[in-house]
Chains A and B, each alone.
Chain A
Amino acid sequence: DQQVKQNSPSLSVQEGRISILNCDYTNSMFDYFLWYKKYPAEGPTFLISISSIKDKNEDGRFTVFLNKSAKHLSLHIVPSQPGDSAVYFCAAGVDYSGSARQLTFGSGTQLTVLP
């Protein structure tokens, strides 16, 4: 049972345009969400996160939107650059205060930014 789903395995966009990556989750206990970027044969790099008390978080070209009622979050990259081409993972967790956070990851979306 996949609790975190990324239904688009791949996405191609033109350089300079907006990239929108989507993620759905089923566990209503999740209250913290993260996006990671991963290049082949490397570890994931943290991009941006959002707590369930917010519906938007912005960091430079990256913005994450959270729709709790729809159990949906999205990552917007504006403008997209060729260096953004990578696999993007959505992850979700429950904030048990004082405990290590167990994250559940989606299967990833391969973003290709075309020059």
Chain B
Amino acid sequence: DGGITQSPKYLFRKEGQNVTLSCEQNLNHDAMYWYRQDPGQGLRLIYYSQIVNDFQKGDIAEGYSVSREKKESFPLTVTSAQKNPTAFYLCASSPMTGSGADTQYFGPGTRLTVL
């Protein structure tokens, strides 16, 4: 079945440590995205990538880093520089048809808790 997988579902990290969240898709989508959701708030864009080896900052990129070495994979690293890392992290992907119908499809999310 085609879809987006994120692992792990729950992640605990000690303050001051970097942690990497995995995102894999087998939908053959060109674009991939990382969002963060905090309680009572909408999703906020961290980074996105349109093509392998290229990515752009979203609205809240500070304290995060990404890589896109393969079309299927877009891992997110939450660094120790991120001041409030505890949140629900969502990965998404979309085709880039240029037709205006580029709906984003989401993975199940990773809940990160910093202790």
Q: Which residues of A contact B (CB under 8 A)?
A: 4, 6, 9, 31-32, 34, 36, 41-46, 49, 51, 89, 91, 95, 97-103, 105-108
**CB contact under 8 A between A107 and B90, given known A45-B106, A46-B103:** no
Number of interface residues of B (CB under 8 A): 34
Interface residues of B in 24-80 (CB under 8 A from A): 30-31, 33, 35, 40-45, 48-50, 58
Residue of B nearest to A106 (CB): B42
Cβ–Cβ < 8 Å partners of B15 in chain A:
none
A49 touches B109 (CB 8 A): no
Contacts of A34 in B (CB 8 A): 103-104
- When the two chains form their complex, are residues A100 and B33 in contact, meaning their CB atoms are under 8 A apart? yes
Which B residues are closer than 8 A to A by beta carbons?
Answer: 4, 6, 9, 30-31, 33, 35, 40-45, 48-50, 58, 88, 90, 92, 94, 96, 98, 100-109, 111
B48 near A44: Cβ-Cβ < 8 Å: no
Q: Provide the residues of chain B in CB contact with A6, threshold 8 Å.
A: 42
Can you identify 19 A-B contacts, CB atoms within 8 angstroms? A9-B40, A32-B100, A36-B106, A41-B88, A42-B109, A43-B4, A43-B6, A43-B109, A44-B43, A44-B90, A89-B42, A98-B96, A100-B48, A100-B94, A101-B31, A101-B102, A102-B48, A107-B40, A108-B42
